[in-house]
Chains A and B, each alone.
Chain A
Amino acid sequence: MTAPKNLFLFLAGFFLLFIQIHPLLPFGKDGGRPDLLLLFTIILGIHFTWLPGAVVCFLVGYLVEIFSGANSGFFSIVYFNIFIVIKMLQRYLIFDTLAKVFLLLILCICIKYFLLLFSFCFIYEYCTEMMKRIFFKETLYTVILSPVVFSLLIKTMSYRSKRPFY
């Protein structure tokens, strides 16, 4: 990928984080917020190579932690692991259609949930019943917003590119 495309993608990532922390985001008043940066991580996983992608995912997690009540390193681990899983899957699968990307999203949401479940069992005293409810809401909002966010990111990446992204 070329430098301007990278720059536009990073700006899109910043924009998604800005929306995610903005108090006027219509979702989230009932305790669940869409994870727009998970969608960003998926796009990074599909289109970035191992090393730059891993560094960017680490930084995405770091940025989230600055604004979140989570402890440092928590989201870096989550996004980093999701990126690694996507890269490993890419050895056997090609995510060349939106349907496949959507299936990948569902898988990534499940991975994130299991990582959270693991850490919440050992570190935070989270009630499993509440985790399920929050997970359901977060998944719902993330899936609802995914077509818009994926389109935005794909458009950003295929900017000045002669061929369409998919």
Chain B
Amino acid sequence: MLQFLLKNKKVIFLLGLFIVSLTLFATDVERRKPYTLIDKIILAVFVPPLKATTSLVNSATAVWEEYFYLVNLRKENTALKASLEKLYLEHQMLKEQAIENSRLRELLSFKKKLSYTFIPAETIGRDPSSWFKSMLINKGAGDGIVRGSGVITPLGIVGKIIQVSHNASKILLIIDVNSSVDAIVERTRARGIVEGVGSDKNLCKLSYVLKSEDIVAGDVILCSGTHGINPKGIIIGTVSRVEKDLKGFFQLVEVRPSVDFSQLNEVLVVLKKKAGDAR
């Protein structure tokens, strides 16, 4: 037996390595594991140069934009002032509605809405492969980020934190094949699950929507907030294509996310506010 093992040690070693890979894969597919100590050490080596080079280029770009693109500043300033006045009015109206809403909820003894805090972060790395859609950000457990937190921008939902190290975290983008977000259609309140399709055009699909539901191209898809990962009402995207001539109960709804993932530099990590947290 020993002789056999010694004779075929090369094959046995290679087979062992293959089985290790396969076991790692099988267990991780079942349930994604958090970063191990080795992963964290490797990240600690890679993150500082990634942070340094990204911030260097971002600073250079900012200098370029701030000092060399002053030509259209006056025009842009006027347009922004006009939009600010309009938004201020809208804000006032919404504030009034929020107060009224809160008072009515109390009257009806509704469950209190979850409140959130946001941690701004910068992207410092992209997925090394073309097949999966993830990003690395420069904030980690040291900044209070926890696994499972939502990630958004003012334009809409970006994804979810899947792994956290001390100084960096990995986001699974909503366009990844492994991603799913509970969603509602703004106009009709129809429910569905927004899933990534791994497309090179960064698209998603709204799954499990019955053919009887009225959905048309241009409809806005919002986060339902059911799992408390992201605040309710955050935009996910707009419907770009609807196909009803399919077999089965459900229609095909293609969704174009409102976030441009190719230009994504800054994000906000959503954290649930704890009771008595003043942040």
Pair A130/B197 contact, Cβ less than 8 Å: yes
Pair A23/B54 contact, Cβ less than 8 Å: yes
Pair B25/A77 contact, Cβ less than 8 Å: yes
In the complex, A124→B133 CA distance in Å?
13
- Enumerate B128-180 residues with CB–CB distance to A below 8 Å: 128-134, 136, 162, 170, 172-173, 176-178
In the complex, A70→B132 CA distance in Å?
6
**Known pairs A68-B128, A68-B134; A50 contacts B199 (CB<8 A):** no
Pair A21/B132 contact, Cβ less than 8 Å: no
B124: nearest chain-A partner, CB-CB: A23
**Known pairs A18-B50, A127-B197; A68 contacts B129 (CB<8 A):** yes
Pair A84/B14 contact, Cβ less than 8 Å: yes
Pair A66/B21 contact, Cβ less than 8 Å: no
Contacts of B10 in A (CB 8 A): 50-51
Pair A130/B128 contact, Cβ less than 8 Å: no
- Enumerate A21-52 residues with CB–CB distance to B below 8 Å: 21-25, 28-33, 35, 37, 50-51
B11–chain A nearest beta-carbon distance, Å? 9
B178–chain A nearest beta-carbon distance, Å? 7
A152–chain B nearest beta-carbon distance, Å? 18
A138–chain B nearest beta-carbon distance, Å? 5
Taking residues whose C-beta sits less than 8 angstroms from the other chain, chain A's interface range is 35 or more
Contacts of A76 in B (CB 8 A): 20-21, 24-25
Pair A75/B129 contact, Cβ less than 8 Å: yes
Pair A69/B132 contact, Cβ less than 8 Å: yes
| B53 CB-CB contact with A under 8 Å | yes
Pair B17/A55 contact, Cβ less than 8 Å: yes
In the complex, A133→B130 CA distance in Å?
11
A61: nearest chain-B partner, CB-CB: B21
Binds A, one of B26-34, B63-71, B80-88: B26-34
Pair A70/B129 contact, Cβ less than 8 Å: yes
Pair B130/A72 contact, Cβ less than 8 Å: no
| B245 CB-CB contact with A under 8 Å | no
In the complex, A62→B197 CA distance in Å?
24
In the complex, A126→B133 CA distance in Å?
13
A27–chain B nearest beta-carbon distance, Å? 9
| A111 CB-CB contact with B under 8 Å | no
| A96 CB-CB contact with B under 8 Å | no
| A123 CB-CB contact with B under 8 Å | yes
Pair A72/B46 contact, Cβ less than 8 Å: no
Pair A69/B133 contact, Cβ less than 8 Å: yes
Pair A64/B129 contact, Cβ less than 8 Å: yes
Q: Tell me which of A23, A32, A54, A73 contacts B130 (CB under 8 A).
A: A32
A11–chain B nearest beta-carbon distance, Å? 12
A76–chain B nearest beta-carbon distance, Å? 4
A28–chain B nearest beta-carbon distance, Å? 7
Pair B202/A73 contact, Cβ less than 8 Å: no
| B211 CB-CB contact with A under 8 Å | no
A17: nearest chain-B partner, CB-CB: B128
| A5 CB-CB contact with B under 8 Å | no
Contact with B along A4-22 (1 / 0, CB 8 A): 0000000000000110111
| A104 CB-CB contact with B under 8 Å | no
Contact with B along A105-117 (1 / 0, CB 8 A): 0000000000010
| A134 CB-CB contact with B under 8 Å | yes
In the complex, A125→B199 CA distance in Å?
11
Q: 3 tightest CB-CB pairs across the interface, nearest first?
A: A31-B200, A73-B25, A69-B134
Question: 19 A-B residue contacts at CB 8 Å?
Answer: A21-B128, A22-B50, A23-B265, A24-B53, A50-B10, A58-B20, A58-B21, A66-B39, A67-B170, A69-B132, A70-B131, A73-B21, A73-B26, A77-B21, A77-B25, A84-B14, A123-B29, A126-B131, A133-B200
